[in-house]
Amino acid sequence: MKNRYPVLKNRRPRPLTVVIMDGIGFREGNPGNAVAAASTPHLDRLVQTCPHTLLKAHGTAVGLPSDEDMGNSEVGHNALGAGRFYPQGARLVNEAIASGRIFEGRGWKRLVDFCRRHNGTFHFLGLFSDGNVHSHLDHLKAMINRLAREEEIARVRIHILLDGRDVGETSALDYVVPFESFLKDIREATGCDCRIASGGGRMKITMDRYEADWNMVALGWKTHVAGEGRMFPSAEAAIRALREENPGVIDQDLPPFVIAGEDGPAGAMRDGDAVVYFNFRGDRAIEISRAFEEEDFDKFERIPRPDVAYAGMMEYDTEAHIPKSYLVEPPCIEHTMGEYLAAAGIRQMAISETQKYGHVTYFWNGNRSGKIDEDLEEYIEVPSDRVPFEQRPWMKSAEITDRVVEAVMSNRFDMIRLNFPNGDMVGHTGVFHAAVIAVESVDLAIGRIMHAVEKAGGILIVTADHGNADEMFELDRKTGMPKLGENGLPKPKTAHTLNPVRFIVYDPSGNGAIRINPDVKNPGLTHVAATCFQLLGLEPPELYDPPLLVCS
């Protein structure tokens, strides 16, 4: 087959190292821009001396419903590893609900039939916002409407995980108050007894990932399933009281609560109930799904363990088939970069700390658990600290870099991919000065990797999966200036951004005469995979989006 794209002839770098600066986007403006405020001599040098461009990392470019949807680490790594975009979680669920396909599916019908047969309660559990990264309230409302108006289910309970991360950091009541009105309308129109039953901050209960802290899931089980915990008459009352008692604590970190009346908890789960975990994103959905489904589960004692019918919004792990029952088919991502490179005999290493380890493995490989080729791949997880990220914004960047530098110099790998989580995880805290330190920590690490790449004669790619630390304040879109809170200070922003990310190629040998290809219009994350093939001296697959470079 004729080579469609120029590659580096007779040269395979040892190795090609790909750095993903998670959550470090690019923005021209300075207010609230921790990336611009940070001292980044190594990134500055790369931009001044190396081929570079900006990549779109959000919206339709990564398979999300619209360009108003911010990118995230899951879809970003899917796009990086797959070489083209696939319709992603929110878009798939939107289409399934709009067409009615979700309600005709086996997963939905199984839950409704089980609930009717046992005269049970139908429960929903998930992230309670319209952030559209893990979930969306419109999906929850559509399912509640269906149950009450067409399925004629008598009781519905909602267990809400407060966001404050993909949306405003203290926006919970902006969602709870109108949602209570929505539930009231449902009750009055249909007679369906639908109420909020429990809740808590997403970083306190239930939504752990990569087995970083099973205690979060255990506390979620106690709160949602057993109905045990501090009790309040309503979600609004709980949120107001917990905020007053915990000044400065944002929604994602609020303690758990249970809604109760004179008869006790409003929504403890019982035999014969049905449960939907309505998050569509997988990483923070797998552990609670395992707790509901696994017979030989040993991470914590499930007391009680009611006989319920459980389903996730999607299949969160397509290899391990978690959960067994789900409502919407996930994207079937095939022919990933990892598969092609393994077939070509390319020796690969993937590394990050716990918080993003699954992104450079599971998500990069198209939502596939485990290695593609045990003989050719090495996956390294550096255990994350269990402290608030703003208290240790350097996270595990030094330890990751130690391992990467060793690997670059070892001549054992053809390609190394790594993720520095700092810009994203610290960015989500809304603490500006901590985010600045996070970015500086990543820059320091990149400098060390650059030196190793120089000595080894390899090539370095530096990019990111989405923005976050680049916009730490809520901005007025007309003026570009920060919005002010009640205290007169800029309102912190904890969500991802719509900003592009950098793509930089560092070839210290200069053998490839590399430059950015001007013919690639609107470049995005999906173009990175073919570019890696190009730099490895391999023909990119025809189904991939074209590479970003011209190599002569």
Q: Which amino acid, one-letter code, is at 431?
A: V
Dihedral sign, CA of 548, 78, 454, 439? positive
* 125 DSSP β-pair partners: 159, 277
Please tell me the distance from the alpha carbon of residue 233 to that of residue 197, in angstroms, as a whole number: 10
Cβ(54)–Cβ(66) under 8 Å?
A: no
Instruction: Please report, as a single letter, which amino acid is at residue 64.
Output: L
Helix 397-410 / helix 432-456 crossing angle, nearest 10 deg: 10
pLDDT tens for the chain, residues 1 to 552: 334 444 444 455 679 999 999 999 999 988 999 999 999 999 999 999 999 999 999 999 998 888 888 899 999 999 999 999 898 888 899 999 999 999 999 999 999 999 999 999 999 999 999 999 899 999 999 999 999 999 999 999 999 999 998 999 999 999 999 999 999 999 999 999 999 999 999 999 999 988 989 999 999 999 999 999 999 999 999 999 999 999 999 999 999 999 999 999 999 999 999 999 999 988 899 999 999 999 999 999 999 999 999 999 999 877 678 999 999 987 889 999 999 999 999 999 999 999 999 999 999 999 888 999 999 999 999 999 999 999 999 999 999 999 999 999 999 999 999 999 999 999 999 999 999 999 999 999 999 999 999 999 999 999 999 999 999 998 887 888 888 887 888 989 988 999 999 999 999 987 557 899 999 999 999 999 999 999 999 999 999 999 999 876
* Neighbouring residues of 436: CB distance < 8 A, sequence distance ≥ 6: 34, 37, 38
Residue 111 phi, psi (nearest 5) = -65, -45
Provide DSSP, 294-310. -TT--SS--SS----EE
What is the Cα 353 distance to its own chain's centre?
Answer: 15
Q: Which domains does the chain have, with CATH numbers?
A: 16-87+333-551 (3.40.720.10), 90-328 (3.40.1450.10)
Q: Chain centroid to CA 340: how far?
A: 25
SS3 45: helix
pTM of the model: 0.78
Strands 501-506 and 122-127 turn out to be unpaired
Element housing 421 (H / E): none
Cβ atoms within 10 Å, residue 403? 17
217, 181 contact by CB (below 8 A): no
Q: What pLDDT does 10 receive? A: 47
Catalytic amino acids? 73
Partners of 183 in beta bridges? none
